[in-house]
Structure 1
């Protein structure tokens, strides 16, 4: 990313260029990204390509003003952080399912970010409802966050287990990976009937108040101070207006689950 692209990305998330790759800067960038760029899987249901290159991911987030799922969001965020002088490693993780079993390798992409003043951090702006701020990578105690109470625990064979409010979220391999390594995981989640991304429509971001707004299919859910409210949208026009109003996403047609994917 050159200076012009970096500045455009910073404008996209509404934050000024930091003076240096500091812990405070990382925290500010992480939170600003979560507030501005939604976690969404709309490309899967619009028949759009998902290309795992820095250029394509940054173009989607910045130029097209879209969001994405983990590979896209954390991939683009890594490109921004590197352009700002941070030391970034891509980490592969396996997400725990409802039975407590970890999923496929390269199920998820998370980031290890090194700052010039504060050691290593686990940054993840691509896991939906997760931590609002980076987690201290070496801290094995509880870490309070606006999104919940998190803990990073040692696991077998050198892996790390990330827990939220005591519940395991994903298992992280500490070895750095390349963006191209995640192509198989992205393909699986785009195509497999076993992937929750092919079986659901989601677009979600945190709000400035620390709440969350989510459009799941035609159900609009807002959470403020722990109070959850839902509204059912009844027409395509209402759905498209909601994408635009709440997420800044302008679509020509409503994303639709194929009949075989509906649950």
Structure 2
């Protein structure tokens, strides 16, 4: 287990240290992480290969106060949970929906956490449509969440799929994964032009009532499960200000982004 500065991580996400590694503490930490550390693909946009080594993830998320992709966000959260006494397993799988349509994402293109308490829970702080609360693995039927209705469905070959408001979002394999298992995927996503979304900016952060998402220059806000606004930020100065105000990341200039008119 990697030794980290727990107090610095808790300060980064605005969380209180749990008295014990229990369900209430897990819910608090999960929500605070999602509301403080954004999902963002700036590195992929700039064709830079993110490192998933523990020390590099901590430096990026906590010291530099950046966000990251699913592998970085869930890996960083894993370090925090383990340091607080939680039993955590890293799992890998693939995304099955991009916000507009179904597709078959890369194997090990997504990472989630399995946390063992009185029940086994799935935790995901690195996905735009993830639940705010941990999902019980042994629960059948829809689990209510502030972000909608979620259901864990077991496939015939032993994987699990997450269905969110009727949409199958991802499939996860249930055997443990090591961080190195995701390294090739990170390289591929950052360098191969044929990857869906290559060179495009995706960013998202959870708010009290929904989330605020960026797709290239399109800013979209959701509240209570509904899209409440969407607009294209054509002015560079406005883009930079909105990006910093929303995601806490200061950019020197706007990346070279494809033209998009519809958000996700």
Check whether TM > 0.5: yes
Which residue in 2 is equivalent to 1:213? 212
1:113 aligns with 2:112: no
Does the CA-based 8 Å contact 2:122-2:137 persist in structure 1?
yes
Residues 1:93 and 2:93 aligned together = yes
Q: Aligned partners of 1:217, 1:240: CA distance in 2, in Å?
A: 12
Q: 1:163 to 1:154 in 2, by over 3 A?
A: same
- Would the aligned equivalents of 1:106 and 1:184 in 2 still touch at CA under 8 Å? no
Residue aligning to 1:55: 55
Q: Partner residue of 1:103? A: 105
Name the structure 2 match of 1:7.
7
* 2: CA distance, partners of 1:196 / 1:102: 10
Q: Find the counterpart in structure 1 of residue 262 from structure 2.
A: none
| Residues 40 and 202 in structure 1, CA contact (< 8 A), matched pair in contact too | yes
Say if 2:29 is the partner of 1:32: no
TM-score normalized by the length of structure 1: 0.90
Who is 2:78 aligned against? 78
Relative to the length of structure 2, the TM-score reads: 0.90
How far residue 10 of structure 1 moved from its aligned partner, in angstroms, is 0.5
2:135 paired with 1:135 = yes
Say if 1:47 and 1:101 are closer, same or farther in 2 by CA, change over 3 A: closer
Contact in 1 for aligned 2:57/2:75 (Cα 8 Å): yes
State the distance in 1 between where 2:176 and 2:235 align. Answer: 45
Q: Structure 2 matches for 1:228-243, cutoff 5 A? A: 228-243=228-243
Per-residue Cα deviation, 1:57-96 (whole angstroms, up to 9, x for no partner): 1111101111111111111111111111111111011221
8 Å CA contact retained: 1:44, 1:198 = yes
Query: How many angstroms does 1:100 deviate by?
Result: 4.7
> Secondary structure at the residue paired with 1:158?
coil
Does residue 179 of the first structure (1) align with residue 185 of the second (2)? no
Q: What does residue 147 of structure 1 align with?
A: 147
TM-fit CA distance, 1:101: 5.3
Alpha-carbon distance in 1 for matches of 2:144, 2:164: 10
1:124 aligns with 2:128: no
- In structure 2, distance between residues paired with 1:157 and 1:133: 26
Distance of 2:153 and 2:221 partners within structure 1 = 32
Shift of 1:39: 0.7
Moved segments of 4+, more than 4 Å: 97-101
Structure 2 residue runs of 5 or longer lacking an equivalent are 260-264
Matched positions, count: 255
Aligned 8 A contact 2:220 2:231 in 1: yes
Distance in 1, Cα, partners of 2:89 & 2:57? 17
CA–CA distance in structure 2, aligned partners of residues 40 and 101 of structure 1: 20
> What are the equivalent positions in structure 2 for 1:10-25 lying under 5 Å apart?
10-25=10-25
CA distance in 2, matches of 1:75, 1:60: 12
Are 1:167 and 2:167 counterparts?
Answer: yes
Partner SS for 1:222 = strand
| RMSD value, Cα | 1.9
Q: Does 1:252 align with 2:252?
A: yes
Instruction: Report the CA distance between 1:9 and its aligned residue.
Output: 0.7
Task: Return closer, same or farther for 1:100/1:227 CA change in 2, 3 Å cut-off.
Answer: closer
